Amino acid sequence: MNDEPDAPRPSHRAKYVAATAVAITVAIAVVIAVAVDVPGRISRTLSGGDLFSSPRLDAEFDAVRAHLGGLPLRRVDVTFNLISVEAVAADGQLHLYWVRDGEVEDVNSITDLHAGEAAFTATDLSAERIRAAVSDVRALGRPGEIQLVSYIFRPGHPLTVAVWIRHDPVSSILHFDPRGGSAVLREESVETDEHSVFGGCWC
């Protein structure tokens, strides 16, 4: 009588492949855990560095011009991984937009508290100017970390490119001419600590 053949046993090669797959899965999990544990440093490394000093900024500004080109802008912030834009939309409200990877998201809106005041447009934005200002600040050797770069109006002052440098307990904002030049037009000092949101709220 012929017995049914035994079920095939996994070969050494199959065991090795399975073990390798498990090892790779564990390694990926560790990398993800580290990325979650240290979001700033790891995320910036994986994305190719800070957005405000990266060639990727050109494409992101192209997205701003394509989607928001006709709107009056109050402020534009470039952080390490996205752009936030405060713009007056067709409804007369001040809208906050987030721009990342070419996508523009309308996040929120409030009453425009600065109606009738000076504004700028997306045509004023220059990725090259942002990168040059960041390079100039780094050449100064100032202590602290650059957290964002803005196109911004300050009361009684014209539009500037502002570089925000976090250095507790006293952080700095260095203002540059948006048309070019390495000279610091003026400097602001801001008291900060571990609870501070450097850059302020949008309004």
Confidence of residue 203 (pLDDT cuts 50, 70, 90): very low
pLDDT surpasses 70 at 49: yes
Please report the pLDDT score of residue 156 as a whole number.
83
Q: Is residue 201 part of a domain?
A: no
- Same domain? 180 vs 137: yes
Please report the pLDDT score of residue 197 as a whole number.
81
Tokens representing residue 184 in the block: 């610091």
Distance, CA of 132 to chain centre: 17
pLDDT surpasses 50 at 191: yes
- Same domain? 37 vs 84: no
Q: Is residue 2 part of a domain?
A: no
- Same domain? 158 vs 100: yes
Q: Which value, in Å, is the radius of gyration of the alpha carbons in the chain?
A: 24
Q: Is residue 202 part of a domain?
A: no
Write down the pTM of the prediction: 0.75
Average pLDDT over residues 16-43: 36
- Same domain? 98 vs 35: no
Please report the pLDDT score of residue 38 as a whole number.
38
Q: Which domain holds residue 30?
A: 12-45
- Same domain? 96 vs 55: yes
Q: Is residue 98 part of a domain?
A: yes
Q: Is residue 157 part of a domain?
A: yes
Percent of the chain at pLDDT exceeding 70: 74
